[in-house]
A and B are shown apart, each in its own frame.
Chain A
Amino acid sequence: QVQLVESGGGVVQPGKSLRLSCAASGFAFNNYGMHWVRQAPGKGLEWVAVIWYDGSNKFYADSVKGRFTISRDNFKNTLFLQMNSLRAEDTAVYYCASGGSGGYHFNYWGQGTLVTVSS
């Protein structure tokens, strides 16, 4: 079955960096766009970034543009999120999600990894 397993979360000081990973299995990873979506404590879901199936295009939410970078390794079936210049408002559970057919929705989700930005 489809599995998405995030890792790399933790506590980090404002202004520092963190790199999240998402290991995928159970589906043809290199055929699908992949996303990061986050949920801040007590808040709703917020889309963060998408990378196309072949890595040729990447798009970001305004709130993270210029600070976060999404990437993927299709040989290792792994998705990444490099987060730089972290702010307190980046504190959230970060989920990786696979794009559905057509890329208009999020088909499968991981369990999430918590990122806490605090001094």
Chain B
Amino acid sequence: KNEVEQSPQNLTAQEGEFITINCSYSVGISALHWLQQHPGGGIVSLFMLSSGKKKHGRLIATINIQEKHSSLHITASHPRDSAVYICAVQGAQKLVFGQGTRLTINP
């Protein structure tokens, strides 16, 4: 079993829909990161969480430390949100990445 599991692996939605991507992990962590990667592009850090909830524009990230679970939400989704979203957990020595969720938003 992977240390970090994301779901769903692929998600297609219509513009305007509310999007949720989930991340579960099985190891102790000091922080959890949500990252965005566009096709052929670099990686952008969206959020770093160690507890609670953070909001940036239309993006919201939450984490439940007891349940070892985090969610990334996108409100009023737009085609430019189409990308791979990656959850990464930070332990003592390294980041461990989930496999990513490929999100496609159709106009």
Q: Do A and B come together as binding partners?
A: no
